[in-house]
Amino acid sequence: MTPKSGILLLLSCVSAIAAVGCVFELSSGQPELGSTITTAILLGSIPLTAIFFWIAVQDTRANMK
């Protein structure tokens, strides 16, 4: 694993944690940042998690050869 892969995995974890936090905030009924902003963060963090993870895996595979 390269430093680039590690940073991408870190970003993937952070965005996944943000998504889970948004789900809990929205399920509570009264999100601190408001429903619109919390929903926007949730909708942005889900694809970012997948994208960062995919790029990290591709980078690691490319550097194994």
CB 15 within 8 A of CB 52: yes
First-to-last C-alpha distance (Å) of the chain: 12
Q: What does the alpha-carbon distance between residue 44 and residue 38 come to, in Å, rounded to a whole number?
A: 10
Q: What does the alpha-carbon distance between residue 25 and residue 19 come to, in Å, rounded to a whole number?
A: 10
Tens-digit pLDDT string for the chain (65 aa):
889 999 999 999 999 999 999 999 999 989 999 999 999 999 999 999 999 999 999 999 998 87
Using CA atoms, how far residue 4 sits from 18, 28, 38, in Å, is 21, 36, 29
Residue 45's pLDDT is 97
Token pair 């940042």: residue: 33
Residue 1's pLDDT is 83
Residue 65's pLDDT is 72
This prediction has a pTM of 0.87
